[in-house]
Chains A and B, each alone.
Chain A
Amino acid sequence: MKGPPLAAPSYMRTLLFGLWLAASSAFALDAATIDKLAFGDGDEKIAAIAALVAEGDPAAAALLQAAADGELQTSGKRVLIVKGEEGVDAATGAKVSPLPADREDVILNNRVRRELGGAVAALKLISPDSAARLAAAKELSGNADAAMLPLIKKALARETDTEVKQLLELTQATLELKTGTRESRLGAVRTLGLSTNPNTKMLLLGLLEKSKEGSFTEPDEDIRIEAQKSLRALEGRLAWGERAGVLFTSVSLGSILLLAALGLAITYGLMGVINMAHGELIMVGAYTTYVVQNLFRRTAFFDWYPLAAVPAAFLVAALVGMALERLVIRWLYGRPLETLLATWGISLMLIQTVRTIFGAANVQVENPSFMSGGIELFTGVVMPWSRIYIIAFAAFVLFLMYVLLNKTRLGLYVRGVTQNREMASCVGVPTARVDTWAFGLGSGIAGLAGCALSQIDNVGPNLGQSYIVDSFMVVVLGGVGQLAGTVYAALGLGFANKLLEAWQGAVLAKIAVLVFIIFFIQKRPQGMFALKGRALDS
């Protein structure tokens, strides 16, 4: 390092300002600037880059891009942009052919390269494509250089896209804060208060910092007061963003729990069958989705595979469930503890079957393209499309189940058999067949849950095991015998989990929720929404 560190920027600034004036007065690219870029030493090259940036001209953008790509060559006094076998003169834009033989590459050291990278990004701001401008503005918002201020101002003047404009205004304010006059700095602090970017907070906090001797690093009191105000506004907005984020993840987790537990609400809640293989039926649904996805992989309709996977997952899981009911569970009605053990055995066999067929490792289920990406609510708060679709899907399944149970004959039968098996049988309900159908329905819904989970979770042989405790907790908490309890319990657990998670971390949150449920069951052994009755034993 030569000289005091502060001297360099101020010297650079005057130099840049001069260059900028000189450059903007010229119509085409200034030949002197190009010469400096090609033949000058490191400092001169950087000055030339700054001048070209300030120019904000498409030709300058092309030149800098060429330099960054290593396409800039010299031949005697001429500077050429060489792309493959074709070349153009950098200053005039005239085509040069044939290419002279004595070409030499322009040598760029790392420092110049770094400058060049920033400059290329900055010049994208004037690209006609708004998506490219947005990307450039985003890149700049973190690491803009004071030399780019004129360019940013220029870009702002003609920017029409509000999102890009907001970002640029923030970047401008950040830069003004460092270099501008008192008035422009005050304005900048005010603008920063409108930001939603967490990085801005650091910037404002920096203004309010005290040095070791107790004096403020920022001497101007008005700016400090203004910064304080902006900071408060910003923090409020960030807190809202965080809250919105927690709300979204809670609803998302709640919808996943709901999907996992809805099938159980039928088999356990309505029929009273403890199906420990429920998690494995979810797994069966997920693997069915995997198979369907593989069938669609080579075709042009890959994005449409969920349309086939959803019914397939339902059918396969439902068939497996109905087979289980016929073969095993049917013989154990009225012996819940034995049912529990037998279905656990079934779950072990299903796990091993999947391991034998698909291997012990996780398999890859790819999202269709409309499910990838997400909506960015605030900086850092993203709502992924896959989760949004799953929330909608859970609501859809819930609605379907409600209709099925309350508006169809099968639903009527299921409710009848649940409430009074003998009576239902007396009036001609084929109770045995209804049991099979109802169990198939519950299993099929588990399959749907698996189809949804395959979009956001790892699909492996242990998928089911990780959901079985959770889904039983939902049903037990919600209360046996109705859907409303399941819905409230799933959403409630989702919220409780995520709120505690934000506070104490994921593992402790989960433990706390489990312990809470254990205590809750002591208080209300029948769950939140128990069917009222006077029976001592239920």
Chain B
Amino acid sequence: MNSVTGGLSRRLYGPRGWAILALCGIAIFVVMPLLNLAVPAESPFHVSAYWVTLFGKIMCYAIVAVALDLVWGYAGILSLGHGLFFALGGYAFGMYLMRQIGSDGQYRQPMPDFMVFLDWKEFPWQWWNSDSFWWCAMLVIVVPGLLAFVFGYFAFRSRVKGVYLSIITQALTFAAMLLFFRNATGFGGNNGFTDFRRILDIPIATPQTRMALFAFTGATLIATLLLARWLTTSRFGRVLAAIRDAEQRVMFCGYDTVHYKLFVWTLSAVICGIAGALYVPQVGIINPGEMSPANSIEIAIWVAVGGRGTLIGPILGAGLVNGAKSFFTQAFPEYWLYALGLIFILVTLFLPQGVMGLLKKKQ
């Protein structure tokens, strides 16, 4: 038994890799909580709530980037609709958070504010059982997973691939965005969900809750990375890479490529949904803007900046691009689109392997 787990750990990362991972773990689970909660606010070493939220948000994005790298970097499927799965997870968990507000909303009614505003007397069917944490947690996984499964089944079975697939995933998220913008869809229309108060009956805005969410997001990120690494270094992962490089040869070798693609596609969507569910309580808002095609394309650029097919790279990429975004939107808001546009162009022209490719070249 010992040798098996030992073999597995050796397969995933070398000693240096594990050491770096352990360092990251210490930073997330020990250093950040200490600096945020234990160090007094006057101290120069204190990490403010702003930074905790920002890092938490970026870690959510990093989870999405790893999920997209699984399908794009390893199976060659570029999805321009991963923002949809992310938002669906966010909405599913957001329903629970909305119910947790209870009667503390602006209208002091047991229904969420937007329903009171629309003069709805009872919850629509989508909200059935939404006051249960476990039900909503299950929806976070099932809704994006099911949508991805159904969409993927039809798309991969008819051998839709390459740019065609990218474009119709974009159409999918665009259609969903239009749907969620409607008030009648029952998810708050334009404004979406916001103004959360509690999670699991604990006030959501306290430093302790924020840190707990942060740590949980960090744990999810590390778990996602390990899972993805395990998957891609397995036999399954090698078949995926073969599909990416020459799908027809794999088919003629007797593999049913649809199953492989469908599995990794659905898994990727589920991971995105979980990331969305972690994102909403930390950022405090979810609205249909998250489903806009532009958001989904940005996910692809995180992966491209970091380096496709490296898993670590997309995490770096999500951090770099979003760090730059936070910096620019504060310092020079009018130049951010130029910077982002340039990142898109320069990375595709000069850095096809991303930052990881640069690092590898150095070695």
Report the bound CA distance from A336 to B164 in whole Å. 10
Do A328 and B297 form a contact, CB below 8 Å, given A336-B163, A522-B154?
A: no
Pairwise interchain contact A337-B163, C-beta atoms closer than 8 A = yes
Pairwise interchain contact B293-A337, C-beta atoms closer than 8 A = no
Q: Which of A215-223, A252-260, A468-476, A486-494 contacts B (4 or more CB under 8 A)?
A: A468-476
Q: Which residues of B contact A67 (CB under 8 A)?
A: none
Pairwise interchain contact B159-A525, C-beta atoms closer than 8 A = yes
Cβ of A130 under 8 Å from chain B:
no
Cβ of B55 under 8 Å from chain A:
no
Cβ contact of A345, chosen from B151, B164, B341, cutoff 8 A:
B341
Report the bound CA distance from A331 to B164 in whole Å. 21
Residue of A nearest to B76 (CB): A337
Pairwise interchain contact A342-B345, C-beta atoms closer than 8 A = yes
Cβ of A193 to closest chain B Cβ, rounded Å = 39
Cβ of B248 under 8 Å from chain A:
yes
Report the bound CA distance from A82 to B349 in whole Å. 82
Instruction: Give the residues from 237 to 267 in chain B that come closer than 8 angstroms, CB to CB, to chain A.
Output: 248
Pairwise interchain contact A521-B160, C-beta atoms closer than 8 A = yes
Cβ of A334 to closest chain B Cβ, rounded Å = 12
Cβ contact of A469, chosen from B159, B171, B182, B344, cutoff 8 A:
B171
Cβ of B220 under 8 Å from chain A:
no
Instruction: Give the residues from 310 to 352 in chain A that come closer than 8 angstroms, CB to CB, to chain B.
Output: 328, 331-332, 335-342, 344-349, 351-352
- Residue-by-residue, is B324-338 near A (CB-CB < 8 Å gives 1, otherwise 0)? 000000000011011
Pairwise interchain contact A356-B344, C-beta atoms closer than 8 A = no
Report the bound CA distance from A514 to B154 in whole Å. 15
Do A348 and B337 form a contact, CB below 8 Å, given A328-B345, A328-B349, A521-B160?
A: yes
Pairwise interchain contact A507-B182, C-beta atoms closer than 8 A = yes
Cβ of A461 to closest chain B Cβ, rounded Å = 10
Cβ of B342 under 8 Å from chain A:
yes
Cβ of B49 under 8 Å from chain A:
no
Q: Which residues of B contact A339 (CB under 8 A)?
A: 348
Report the bound CA distance from A517 to B297 in whole Å. 21
Cβ of A520 to closest chain B Cβ, rounded Å = 10
Q: Which among A347, A356, A468, A521 has the highest number of chain B CB atoms within 10 Å?
A: A521
B-side interface residues, number (CB < 8 Å): 44
Q: Which residues of A contact B297 (CB under 8 A)?
A: 276, 341, 344
Q: Which residues of B contact A476 (CB under 8 A)?
A: 164, 167-168
Pairwise interchain contact B172-A514, C-beta atoms closer than 8 A = yes
Pairwise interchain contact B172-A518, C-beta atoms closer than 8 A = yes
Residue of A nearest to B346 (CB): A345
Pairwise interchain contact B174-A469, C-beta atoms closer than 8 A = yes
Report the bound CA distance from A521 to B167 in whole Å. 11
Pairwise interchain contact B175-A511, C-beta atoms closer than 8 A = yes
Pairwise interchain contact B178-A507, C-beta atoms closer than 8 A = yes
Cβ of A465 under 8 Å from chain B:
yes
Cβ contact of B248, chosen from A352, A517, A537, cutoff 8 A:
A537
- Residue-by-residue, is B212-254 near A (CB-CB < 8 Å gives 1, otherwise 0)? 0000000000000000000000000000000000001000000
Pairwise interchain contact A521-B164, C-beta atoms closer than 8 A = yes
Residue of B nearest to A348 (CB): B341
Pairwise interchain contact B304-A348, C-beta atoms closer than 8 A = no
Cβ of B40 to closest chain A Cβ, rounded Å = 42
Cβ of B300 under 8 Å from chain A:
yes
Cβ of A94 under 8 Å from chain B:
no
Instruction: Give the residues from 100 to 126 in chain B that come closer than 8 angstroms, CB to CB, to chain A.
Output: none
Cβ contact of A515, chosen from B159, B175, B345, cutoff 8 A:
B175
Report the bound CA distance from A536 to B252 in whole Å. 12
Q: Which residues of A contact B171 (CB under 8 A)?
A: 469, 472-473, 514, 517-518
Cβ of A523 under 8 Å from chain B:
yes
Pairwise interchain contact A349-B337, C-beta atoms closer than 8 A = yes
Cβ of A154 under 8 Å from chain B:
no
Pairwise interchain contact B345-A519, C-beta atoms closer than 8 A = no
Do A352 and B338 form a contact, CB below 8 Å, given A342-B349, A515-B175?
A: yes
Cβ contact of A525, chosen from B158, B294, B340, cutoff 8 A:
B158
Cβ of B191 under 8 Å from chain A:
no
Pairwise interchain contact A469-B170, C-beta atoms closer than 8 A = yes
Pairwise interchain contact A336-B162, C-beta atoms closer than 8 A = yes
Report the bound CA distance from A100 to B181 in whole Å. 70
Q: Which residues of B contact A337 (CB under 8 A)?
A: 78, 162-163, 166
Pairwise interchain contact A274-B163, C-beta atoms closer than 8 A = yes
Q: Which residues of A contact B164 (CB under 8 A)?
A: 476, 521, 525
Q: Which among B162, B175, B343 has the highest number of chain A CB atoms within 10 Å?
A: B175
Residue of B nearest to A339 (CB): B348
Cβ of A510 under 8 Å from chain B:
yes
Pairwise interchain contact A345-B178, C-beta atoms closer than 8 A = no
Q: Which residues of B contact A536 (CB under 8 A)?
A: 248
Q: Which residues of B contact A521 (CB under 8 A)?
A: 155, 158, 160, 164, 168
Report the bound CA distance from A341 to B348 in whole Å. 7
- Residue-by-residue, is B344-355 near A (CB-CB < 8 Å gives 1, otherwise 0)? 110111001000
Instruction: Give the residues from 259 to 302 in chain B that come closer than 8 angstroms, CB to CB, to chain A.
Output: 293-294, 297, 300-301
Residue of A nearest to B182 (CB): A507
Pairwise interchain contact B345-A346, C-beta atoms closer than 8 A = yes
Pairwise interchain contact A349-B341, C-beta atoms closer than 8 A = yes
Pairwise interchain contact B175-A341, C-beta atoms closer than 8 A = no
Q: Which residues of A contact B304 (CB under 8 A)?
A: 341
Report the bound CA distance from A346 to B343 in whole Å. 10
Residue of A nearest to B335 (CB): A352
Cβ of A54 to closest chain B Cβ, rounded Å = 52
Pairwise interchain contact B158-A522, C-beta atoms closer than 8 A = yes
Cβ of B269 to closest chain A Cβ, rounded Å = 16
Q: Which residues of A contact B344 (CB under 8 A)?
A: 341-342, 344-346, 348
Pairwise interchain contact A352-B334, C-beta atoms closer than 8 A = yes
Cβ of B353 to closest chain A Cβ, rounded Å = 12
Q: Which residues of B contact A508 (CB under 8 A)?
A: 182
Pairwise interchain contact A345-B78, C-beta atoms closer than 8 A = no
- Residue-by-residue, is B172-184 near A (CB-CB < 8 Å gives 1, otherwise 0)? 1011001101100
- Residue-by-residue, is A519-533 near B (CB-CB < 8 Å gives 1, otherwise 0)? 101110100000000
Q: Which residues of A contact B78 (CB under 8 A)?
A: 337, 340
Q: Which residues of A contact B181 (CB under 8 A)?
A: 507
Do A351 and B166 form a contact, CB below 8 Å, given A345-B345, A515-B175?
A: no
Pairwise interchain contact A341-B300, C-beta atoms closer than 8 A = yes
Pairwise interchain contact B293-A469, C-beta atoms closer than 8 A = yes
Q: Which residues of B contact A515 (CB under 8 A)?
A: 175
Q: Which residues of B contact A355 (CB under 8 A)?
A: 334, 337
Cβ of B166 to closest chain A Cβ, rounded Å = 6
Report the bound CA distance from A334 to B144 in whole Å. 32
Cβ of B189 to closest chain A Cβ, rounded Å = 11
**Complex A-B, nearest 3 residue pairs according to Cβ-Cβ distance, in ascending order:** A345-B344, A349-B341, A352-B337
Q: Interface residues, chain A, CB within 8 Å of chain B?
A: 274, 276, 328, 331-332, 335-342, 344-349, 351-352, 355-356, 465, 468-469, 472-473, 476, 507-508, 510-511, 514-515, 517-519, 521-523, 525, 536-537
List 15 contacting pairs A-B, 8 Å CB cutoff, sorted by A: A328-B345, A328-B349, A332-B348, A339-B348, A345-B341, A345-B342, A345-B344, A345-B348, A346-B344, A349-B338, A352-B341, A472-B167, A507-B182, A511-B178, A514-B172
Apart from A332-B349, A336-B163, A525-B159, list 16 A-B contacts with CB within 8 A.
A336-B162, A341-B300, A345-B344, A348-B338, A349-B337, A352-B334, A352-B335, A356-B334, A469-B170, A507-B181, A510-B178, A511-B179, A514-B171, A515-B175, A522-B160, A536-B248
